[in-house]
Amino acid sequence: MGENDQKTIEPPLTELPIAVSEDGFYSGFSKHVALPSKIIVSLLIIWAIAFPLNAGEVLGVANATLIQMFSGWYIWLVGGFLALSVVLALLPVSGRLKLGQADDVPEFSRFSWFAMMFGAGLGIGMLTYSTGEPLAHLQNNPVIIAGEATALTEGAVRSAYLYSFLHWGFSAWAIYALAGLSIGYVAYRRGLPLTIRSGLAPLFGRHLTGLPGHLVDIVAVVATILGISVTLGLGVEQFVHGLHRIGLGEWLLAEDASASTAAIIVALIVIVGASTLSALSGVGRGIKWLSNLNLILSFVLFAAFIVAGSALLSLEIFGRGLFDYIVSLPALSFGGASSDGTSIGDAVAQWQLDWTVFYWAWWIAFAPFVGMFIARVSKGRTVREYILGVVLAPALMCFVWLALIGGTAVDLVLSGAGQGEIIGTVISDQLYATIAALMSPGLAYGFSILVVVLLLTYVITSADSAILVVNTINAGGNSEDHGRRHIIFWGVAIALVVGSLLVVGGLGAIRTAMIIGALPFSFVSALLAIAVVKAIWRDTIRMRHGVDCTSGADGDG
């Protein structure tokens, strides 16, 4: 290669200045991001509290319209994310690249790394849906709708787990992995700020220092707040049912068996107060130790189900479910159902909207938060180690959890031992009902307390991680200066969003708001995936020609 050829290959962009205030209340923060984000979230809170009926109606109409229009987009987008993750991990040229400089080593051990990823990403959902999802699909799923299996029979177990694994499997974690990879790649290799807009730098370069970058970060903040609100909403409901199970009073539940308004307020004060205190302590202290604690408590609960639960059936469910899932994954990833005018076709299409499309929207809304958080704790790992660690390990843990905890509940239901007590209660209470049907009253009481504590650690870990991520985005990628007053603001804001929407319309209202908020970020997610592919491709060319791709004079993407 000649000297003139080498000069045509520019080094990557290594500076993306984001203007922040130098003094006052917003010192160290970007007013262009922080203020609009706070205004949007505050208006949502005011609307939900002051005009609850109007808020419920508008959210319902918007949800029905958007989820119908963009269902195919969500299905194909998430399928594409999974396929791209596999390619990037398997290709030697991309897999060996490191998120960082050549001599960088991981900050956290693999145990702490995995614990923080699992706790921030899916911990709360797993406690609610470990029993709730298999039992729901045991009663209704596309195979049952098509008449190929009968609800609440052994013949429905296999299809119930196929769809349970789909929703909690590799696809969900591929969404997180690509979001985090796009941010971590340019942050640790090129020194760009640890924020969402930086992930798009390989596509848009210095244009992201202005309005386009501000808009991207604002969309990410709002999506994060709405995504974490769904998770906290689930956590609050299950936390309240746990308190009721251990005898703290009938005042905790309303007439419809949902959490009462008073219980929601008390639970949010406890949960968000603890989360805010943990966020103030930073990632290396509060979040790390809480993540390790909740993983240890998870193993204790897991071990109890191995001893007392349906371990052999669960092992069979895991094996068959994993086989069915892997074989069916390509078709399920790119096979969107559509209404065809028949009762079966319409019912399958509606089921996919209610379940699969909802989940993909939920994971996408969570992507800026979980993606940035995973990027924050993944410096020094190779692309292959990162993708395998983020996509495979937590997903397999979810499968084992669903098979053992959910399989025990399924066995109790099919045998008749827990038919009324488990199926007959709300999803937030089904894990406690399973424990009550499985163990003696004394043991059940003790393990119900353990679940309450475990749930609290997961809720706190998710909330404090979200608060820190939002603060980091608002601070232009600076994760060191915590901004105590702003952490407190976002803690209160999250509590008010969750509380107001729970009171307005329960978990349905929070889910609806999240799906609407996830749509704009789904387009950002697609651009992030394209950007990281371009960044890796350009870096392989640079390395081939001896051009520095981790530092040097500013160039292109």
Per-residue pLDDT tens over the stretch 82-117: 999 999 999 998 999 989 887 888 888 887 787 777
What values do phi and psi take at 43, rounded to 5?
-65, -40
pLDDT value of residue 404: 94
Domains of the chain, each with CATH number or no CATH: 26-543 (1.20.1740)
Q: How far apart are CA 511 and CA 501, in angstroms?
A: 9
Model-wide pTM > 0.85: yes
Q: How distant, in Å, are the alpha carbons of 13, 126, 167, 319, 552 from that of 400?
A: 43, 11, 14, 10, 46
pLDDT at position 455 over 70: yes
Q: Considering the chain, what is the average pLDDT of its residues?
A: 85
Residue 23 has pLDDT above 90, yes or no: no
* Distance in angstroms (rounded) separating the CA atoms of residues 23 and 471: 17
Query: Across residues 464-492, what is the average pLDDT?
Result: 80
Of 203, 207, 204, residue with least CA distance to 534: 203
Q: How far apart are CA 497 and CA 242, in angstroms?
A: 22
> Would you state the pLDDT for residue 24?
78
Average pLDDT over residues 445-467: 85
Q: What is the pLDDT of residues 319-332, one digit of tens each?
A: 999 999 999 999 99
Q: What gap in Å lies between CA 158 and CA 143, rounded to an integer? A: 10
Residue 555 has pLDDT above 60, yes or no: no
What angle, rounded to 10 degrees, do the helices at 157-168 and 393-401 form? 150
How high is the pLDDT of residue 107?
82
- Give residue 419's pLDDT: 62
Q: What's the confidence (pLDDT) of residue 5? A: 47
**pLDDT greater than 70 at residue 7:** no
Instruction: Look at residue 102 in the predicted model and tell me its pLDDT.
Output: 79
- pLDDT of 2: 46
pLDDT at 314 over 60: yes
pLDDT band at residue 436 using 50, 70 and 90 as cut-offs: very high
Residue 260 has pLDDT above 80, yes or no: yes
Q: What is the pLDDT of residue 287?
A: 59
Instruction: Name which of 31-35, 74-78, 326-330, 464-468 the model is least confident about.
Output: 464-468
> Which range among 136-140, 261-265, 461-465, 534-538 shows the weakest confidence by mean pLDDT?
461-465
User: Which two three-digit tokens encode residue 521?
Assistant: 């970020």
Beta bridge pairs of residue 12 = 556
* pLDDT at site 254: 85
The separation between CA 165 and the C-alpha centre of its own chain, rounded to angstroms, equals: 15
- Structure-token pair, residue 136: 């729901």
Residue 163 has pLDDT above 70, yes or no: yes
Phi-psi region of 392 (alpha: psi -120 to 50; beta: other; left: phi over 0): alpha
CB 401 within 8 A of CB 134: no
pLDDT band at 282 (very low <50, low <70, confident <90, very high): low
Q: What would the mean pLDDT of 260-272 be, rounded to a whole number? A: 87
Given a contact cutoff of 8 angstroms between Cβ atoms, the answer to whether 212 and 33 are in contact is no
User: Would you say residue 120 has pLDDT above 70?
Assistant: no
What residue type is 245 in one-letter code?
Answer: R
- Max alpha carbon distance in the chain (Å)? 80
The pLDDT assigned to 162 comes to: 96
Q: What pLDDT does 557 receive?
A: 56
Residue 437's pLDDT is 92
**pLDDT tier for residue 1 given thresholds of 50, 70 and 90:** very low
- By percentage, how much of the chain surpasses pLDDT 70? 91
pLDDT in the model for residue 234: 82
Distance separating alpha carbons of residues 339 and 238, to the nearest angstrom: 34
The per-residue pLDDT for 3 is: 46
pLDDT digits (tens, 9 = 90+) for 369-393: 888 888 888 999 999 999 999 998 8
Q: Of 478, 379, 16, which is closest to residue 180 (Cα–Cα)?
A: 379
Q: Which residue has the tokens 């993540």?
A: 291
pLDDT of residue 8: 65
Burial class (CB in 10 A: 0-12, 13-18, 19+), 301: buried
Coil, strand, or helix at residue 70? coil
From first CA to last CA, the distance across the chain in angstroms is: 22
